[in-house]
Structure 1
Amino acid sequence: MNICRAFLATLILISLQPPAVSVPLDLAGVRPGPISVVRSEDSVAVTWPDETARVWRATFSLNPAQPLITSIGADSEAVVRSARPFYQGEIGKRRGGWYAFFDDPTTHPDGTRHVQSTFQLRAATARSVGERVEIVFDGLRMGSFDGGLAYTFYPGSRLIQQEAVLTTYDADVAYYYDAGLDVAAPSDRQPGNNMRTEAVFYDTDGALRHTTLNGLQAERVPVQARYRTLALKTAGGSVAVFPAPHAYFFPRDFTSNLGFVWHRAWRGRVSLGIRQLRDENWQYYPWVNAPPGRPQRMSVFFLLSAAAPEAALAHVLRYTNGDRFRPLEGYKTLATHWHLADTVQAIANGFDWTPPFKPVLKAMGVDAAMIMDFHGDGHPNDLTDLRLDELHAYFGALRAQSDPERKPTCTSADTGRSCFQSPCTGS
């Protein structure tokens, strides 16, 4: 009898709970154009044409109890379903103002704090920006940051930009963030809570790699991928992820590929995204400034395709130029400020030795490189002939690596505590 009463009481409580109410949506800022935004009872749909005039539709839920992204796809086929944005980061304190390349928040006496985002939808606003459309969903928090999620759609493209638009009012904040998207993938689920999800990326040698995610790792799995991108196969096509090319990485002393993209497959859901690392066991990690009251736009890009992951990756490389500088008629491409200790290696190996950085830079479309030697290597503080011999070798080594038909140009170079005219290596 008591069990029956408890069961009936539970049913009454459930029935008395009010249904989730859709949040308000402001469409006043949307102008007529190639992208349309239409509200239904509890959702909003963004419709736009891609580069082939094929129509794509992204449907977002206005019900706070549901995943934010209901579906994204072309025609009636969804590439992404039941998706939730992912953000996390680390917050530290700045010392000595905002011009802080030589700062390292990880060594601050107050320490740092890992922060995980939470999202509780409060309202939504859509607006036209030229022919683009941006729709912002208010209700995202991450530590001391508060704001919303923004999605930008581009006519004639399958590119979607996701941004956490967040503001903190704390003083001296430095931070970095990881971002991604968590997507339902019931068709990838196998018996025993295993998964079978295909991930595709280019390895650091440029070879295309396919791997099958088995769902046995609950954690995000970093990938050392070339071009900073990877793609996952979905039931309706594929989706690729990559960071904003010139607005994501904070300055680092080294150009190491630390695995800046990641994937995850776990019990019927798959995720992909981008990440930073707090340090490399070195000295300076300035992270990113967040002055009080200034919104931070924490961006990540997704490229959707109705085809296989290889097609999505190929399309990403069209946006990033395959990590190669395009030639400009009448100009040469110069890459500056490389601390490569080239001179001391050339002295040891001979001037006909090809330094390993040269073919890499040439493959990137670089015509000339400014080599900033004696930045800890050699003997920059020496006042004897040893120092003069090293300077002579510096010029000789760079001339030896310059193509005969290209006379090295001159520019100012840092040589420890001295500054003088030095040649670049012409490729």
Structure 2
Amino acid sequence: MRVEKMSHKMLLLLSIMFLSFVTASLTFAQALKCDMTQYKESTGLTADVEKDLLVVTWMGQGYAELRVRFAIELGQPVVRDLAIRKKGGRWTILGQNLIPEYNVVSGIRRGEGGKKLERRVDMKFSKEVINNQRWLEFHDAPLDIPGAREKIPRKPEEVRRMDANFNATGCSVKTDGARLEVMFPGLSMGIFSGSLQFTVYRSTNLIRMDTVAKTDEQWVAYKYDAGLNGFSTDTMTRVCWRDTGGNPQQYQFGTVKNDTRVPVKADNRVLVTEGKGGSVATFPMPHKFFWAREIHVNNGYVWYRKDSDKEFGMGVRQSENEGSTVPLYQDCYALYSARPGTWQRMGMYFYASLDAAEPTRQAVLAFTHGDVYKPLPGYKIFTNHWHLREDNVTTAFTERVMKTGSFDTPLQDIVAMKALGLNIVGISDFHGDMHYNDPGPLRFQDQKNYGEACRRACDKDFLVLPWEEPNFYVGGHINIMFPKNVYFSRVREEGQPFTEMDPVYGRVYHIGNVEDLQKLLDAEDGYWNTAHPRTKSSVGYPDMYWDKPIAKNDRYLGVDFTQAMDLDLSKKRMSEWRTFDAVDRMNNMYANSGLQPKGFLTDIDTYKQGPQDDLYPGYQVTYLKLDRVPGPDEDWSPILRAIRNGDYFITTGEILVSSYAVEGSGNQRTITADVEWTFPLEFVEVVWGDGKNIDRQVISTTDLPAFG
């Protein structure tokens, strides 16, 4: 009797299990609801719903054909499989049943910039501008508890950690030129909500994955990690990368599982998983993934995680803090800004290939030219504003060279710059170091040493310039540039003349006010621009001297461009308000005044660095129209002349403009340009002003292929 009862119970249990399996199978087999109204079939880029699958197929690079099949399981978007083949060949499965994962960590944006603007009596700023200033804070580390230099210590409860959950009931497909976007709504991630999006691009093997989400909370600063889990250790047997020394490294699956993501400090930020039939690389966006910092230490931007004997995940990540014991470095880890109601695009890339790991890694590096700035005939590559201080924040470039005992000793900072392909660099010593405020003899000796240290660091095609970032007389911080090593003091004591002949240094100057500065620039053919506009110590500038004679002058060049300050992933343009808006407003204000246009100069504004650091993401450069690099003992006027005349373009490296011209006059003007690029282009924008209004035309370029 007892056995009979157990049999009935077992039969009942088996019946329930069978019913569950049938129900689950029916659920998974239901036709996928997918809105195809914005889809347009085109050659080499197709999407089709086949029962419970959305099948996306496209032509990649060379003769590769790629396929991703999407499904939804209990609200969870799933990559049913990722496959690749040579055109007309058999499909090679690189991944099956891959689950997207996202994690966000948020803190509270703090900052003193708005209060600085409120305290100004010489210029009134709108409430909107004052409130916006808090978002522009550079000296902020929202996840550093209690904080290195916080006036009010941060509290642990300010930090929230949130994982993505999905409740997708369908999807939508949109064709946008040569790309196809697949969107899964129903994402929730703590204070964020939105959708998951995949984008594929005809003519390239790239796959982009984004969380497109917003929050309604105020003052949210955040970072995210992302990836796909579910890769088979039977199919993909190892992950490969190069370490920060450039050495090949690998992790072969087969040992213990991981409890957490394993951060990998990979050179070039690329991690590749490899199997017998091909490889898949993962990597972050080369610049927009990275907020501005004081140093370029590689904090490990990719990860893998062995979840079981059979499965693993991989993706991209950011650390929660700088990982440094130097307070200044700890204090500058600002994260992304999520203004309320803005759609944050938390993106990352995968790259599928039939090749082994190293050829796949090289294919990914082609998108950044191997993290090197590509030489362009008729141009030399320039950037400005390095302090190169050591960790103690008092010893900069010149003193570091002199500590070695010889001016001929190359600093590793300079070695790293040359390896990037730079030709001309402007250093910014005397920024709190050496005798920067001495009225004469001590500073002049420092300047002589500074000039010699720069001179010895040069070669035939590489020039180091002894320029400065003073904070005197104009307001905020400025960069000052001369065509030779000019001796001047930043103070003018009572009784000191503006200029005099020194028996050791020759012509020297003493600057006591803004009028003296203007006379110095005129006398020595010098120029200046605004350092880090509208943030840091330049809060409120250049706005507050737009109408001053020192700025309404052709000696004033414009502003610095640093792409990673105020990083908001809802914006299509980097440094949109800080830099582009400032220059657009100035040029519109000065229209018809006879002044030459104000422009941008790329700057870096970071400290000690070396070849082991991850420099490329934090750099932006200026391509100057120059046939040759002037020598250290020659006149540097050709450099300043090219800047003043606008004979240059600025770039993060992936877009190059070999020539451009404006033809016609009045309202009938045509702009032509020869452009090359690596990643698929989003748009081209033309901006103009007539002295009253600023207008723009945005032209979509999503129909163009990668590597144009």
TM-score by length of 1: 0.89
Question: Within 2, Cα distance between the matches of 1:388 and 1:141?
Answer: 61
| Deviation (angstroms), 1:220 | 1.9
What residue number does 1:345 align with? 400
CA drift at 1:235: 5.2
Is 1:138–2:185 an aligned residue pair? Answer: yes
What's the C-alpha RMSD, in Å, of the aligned pairs? 2.7
Whether the 8 Å contact between 1:53 and 1:156 is mirrored in structure 2 is no
- Bigger mean CA deviation after superposition, 396-405 or 164-173: 396-405
Equivalent pair of 1:35/1:48 in contact (CA under 8 Å): yes
Give unpaired runs (5+ residues) of structure 1: 189-195
Q: Confirm whether residue 372 of structure 1 aligns to residue 445 of structure 2.
A: no
Q: What residue number does 1:167 align with?
A: 214
Give 1:292-331 correspondences, 5 Å limit: 292-331=340-379
Whether the aligned pair in 2 keeps the contact of 1:72 and 1:80 (CA below 8 Å) is yes
Moved more, 67-76 or 121-130: 67-76
**What's the counterpart of residue 105 of structure 1?**
142
For each residue in 1:380-409, what CA deviation from the matched residue of structure 2 results, as whole angstroms up to 9, or x when unmatched?
344563333223322221122223677766
Match of 1:89 in 2: 104
The residue aligned with 2:287 is 246
Q: 1:54: Cα distance to partner? A: 3.0
Q: How has the CA–CA distance of structure 1 residues 375 and 112 changed in structure 2, closer, same or farther, with 3 Å as cutoff? A: farther
Structure 2 unmatched ranges of 5 or more: 85-89, 112-133, 148-153, 325-329, 389-395, 486-628, 632-708
- Give 1 or 2 for the bigger CA radius of gyration: 2
Q: What are the Cα deviations for residues 347-379 of structure 1, in whole angstroms up to 9, with x where unaligned?
A: 222221111112211111111122122344434
Matched residues in 1 for 2:352 and 2:383: separation?
Answer: 33
Show CA shifts across 1:267-321 (max 9, x none): 2112211111121241121100111111111111111112211121111111121
Distance 1:128 1:405, change over 3 A: closer
1:187 is paired with a residue whose SS is: coil
CA distance in 2, matches of 1:377, 1:86: 46
Greater fraction strand = 1
Pair 67,135 (structure 1): closer, same or farther in 2 beyond 3 Å: closer
How much has 1:241 moved relative to structure 2? Answer: 0.8
Provide the secondary structure at the position in 2 that maps to 1:332. strand
Partner of 2:410: 354
Q: Aligned match of 2:448 in 381, 392, 397? A: 392
State the identity %: 30
- Kindly indicate whether the alpha-carbon contact (under 8 Å) linking 2:280 and 2:360 is maintained by their aligned counterparts in 1: yes
Q: Hey, what's the Cα distance between the residues in 1 that align with 2:33 and 2:215?
A: 25
Deviation at 1:122, TM superposition (A): 2.5
Change (3 A) 1:81 1:426: farther
Question: Do the aligned residues in 1 keep the contact of 2:32 with 2:49 (CA within 8 Å)?
Answer: no
How far has the Cα of 1:123 moved from its partner?
2.1
| 1-structure distance, mates of 2:630, 2:302 | 33
**Structure-2 change in CA distance of 1:184 and 1:260 (3 Å):** closer
CA spacing shift, 1:404–1:67, aligned 2, 3 Å: closer
Other-structure match for 1:203: 243
Is the Cα contact below 8 Å between 1:241 and 1:274 reproduced in 2?
A: yes
Give the drift of 1:339.
1.9
Matched, 1:285 2:333: yes
- Equivalent of 2:61, from 51, 69, 78? 51
Q: Which residue of 1 aligns with 2:314?
A: 272
- Matched with 1:192 is none
Tell me the secondary structure at the aligned position of residue 293 of structure 1.
coil
| 2:272 is equivalent to residue 231 of structure 1 | yes
Cα gap change, 1:381/1:123 in structure 2, threshold over 3 Å: closer, same or farther?
farther
Aligned to 2:83: 73
Corresponding position of 2:457: 401
Q: Which residue of 1 aligns with 2:681?
A: none
| CA distance in 2 between partners of 1:352 and 1:305 (Å) | 46
Which whole-Å CA distance do the structure 1 matches of 2:142 and 2:442 have between them? 39
Q: Which amino acid aligns with 2:418?
A: K
Alignment coverage as a number of residue pairs = 419
